[in-house]
Chain A
Amino acid sequence: MEKIVIVRNLVKIYEGKVDTVALKGINLELDKGYVYAIYGQSGSGKTTLLNILGGLDKPTQGKIIVGNQDITHLDSKNLAIFRNTKVGFIFQFHYLISEFTIFENIIMPAAIRGGKYSYSQVKNRVVELAKILDIEEILGKYPDYVSGGQRQRAAICRALINEPDIVLADEPTGNLDSENTKIVVDLFFKINKVKGTTFVIVTHNENIANQCYQKIELRDGEIVKIVNNY
Chain B
Amino acid sequence: MFRFLEFFIAYRFLQYKLYRSLLIVLAIAIGIGVQTFVGIILDSTQANLIKRTLGYSPHLTIKPFADDKINDRIKRPEEIVKKIIDDPNIFNKITFVAEGVIVLSDFDRKKEITGRLIGFQDLQGKDIFGLRENLIAGNYSLRNNGAVIGYEIAQKLDLNVGDYFIIRARANKFMGGKVVGIFKSGNQQLDNYVVADINRVQDILGYSRSEFSSIFFQINNVFDSDKIKNKLLVNYRWPYELSEWKESNQQLLRGLAAQSRSGFFVQFFILISIAVSIFSIISMKIVEKYKDIGVLKSLGMQNFEIIKIFVNISFLLGLTGVLLGLVLGLGMINLFLSLTKTEEGLPLFDIVVRFEYLLLTIVFNVLTIMMAGYLSARKVINIEPAKIIIGG
Residues on A lying within 8 angstroms of B by beta carbon are 47, 51, 54, 56-58, 76-77, 80-85, 89, 91, 95, 97-100, 108-115, 117-119, 122, 158
B283-308 CB mask vs A (1 if < 8 Å, else 0) is 00000000110111111111101000
| CB-contact partner of B15 in A56, A99, A111, under 8 A | A99
**Contact: B12 with A111, CB < 8 Å?**
no
Q: Complex: how many Å from CA A81 to CA B304?
A: 13
Q: A98-B16, A111-B5, A114-B2 are in contact. Are A91 and B299 (CB under 8 A)?
A: no
Q: A95-B291, A95-B295 are in contact. Are A113 and B382 (CB under 8 A)?
A: no
Residues of A within 8 A of B252 (CB): none
**Contact: A77 with B386, CB < 8 Å?**
no
Residues of B within 8 A of A51 (CB): 384, 386
Residues of A within 8 A of B13 (CB): 99
B-side interface residues, number (CB < 8 Å): 28
- Interface class of chain B by DSSP: helix
Residue of B nearest to A76 (CB): B303
**Contact: A100 with B300, CB < 8 Å?**
no
Residues of B within 8 A of A47 (CB): 390
Given A56-B297, A83-B299, A115-B1, 20 more pairs with CB closer than 8 A: A47-B390, A56-B389, A57-B387, A76-B302, A77-B303, A80-B302, A82-B300, A83-B385, A84-B299, A89-B299, A91-B389, A95-B291, A97-B292, A97-B295, A99-B15, A99-B16, A108-B296, A109-B299, A112-B300, A113-B300
Residue of B nearest to A50 (CB): B386
Q: A56-B385, A57-B384, A99-B16 are in contact. Are A80 and B2 (CB under 8 A)?
A: no
- Interface class of chain A by DSSP: helix
14 contacts between A and B (CB under 8 A): A51-B384, A56-B297, A56-B385, A56-B386, A56-B389, A77-B303, A80-B300, A95-B295, A97-B296, A99-B15, A109-B300, A112-B296, A112-B299, A113-B300
| CB-contact partner of B298 in A54, A98, A99, A111, under 8 A | A54
Residues of A within 8 A of B16 (CB): 98-99
**Contact: A111 with B300, CB < 8 Å?**
no
Residue of A nearest to B6 (CB): A112
Residue of B nearest to A142 (CB): B16
Q: A99-B13, A99-B15, A119-B1 are in contact. Are A83 and B300 (CB under 8 A)?
A: yes
Q: Complex: how many Å from CA A118 to CA B296?
A: 21
| CB-contact partner of B297 in A80, A115, A118, under 8 A | A80
**Contact: A77 with B302, CB < 8 Å?**
yes
Residue of B nearest to A83 (CB): B300
Residues of B within 8 A of A98 (CB): 16
Complex A-B, nearest 9 residue pairs according to Cβ-Cβ distance, in ascending order: A84-B300, A56-B386, A99-B16, A99-B12, A57-B386, A51-B386, A111-B2, A80-B302, A56-B385
Residues of A within 8 A of B1 (CB): 110-111, 114-115, 117-119, 122
Q: A85-B300, A112-B305 are in contact. Are A56 and B292 (CB under 8 A)?
A: no
Residues of A within 8 A of B385 (CB): 56-57, 83
Residue of A nearest to B381 (CB): A76
Q: Complex: how many Å from CA A54 to CA B303?
A: 17
Residues of B within 8 A of A80 (CB): 297, 300-303
**Contact: B299 with A108, CB < 8 Å?**
yes
Residue of A nearest to B306 (CB): A80
**Contact: B298 with A56, CB < 8 Å?**
yes
Cβ of B8 to closest chain A Cβ, rounded Å = 9
Residues of B within 8 A of A118 (CB): 1
B370-390 CB mask vs A (1 if < 8 Å, else 0) is 000000000000101111011
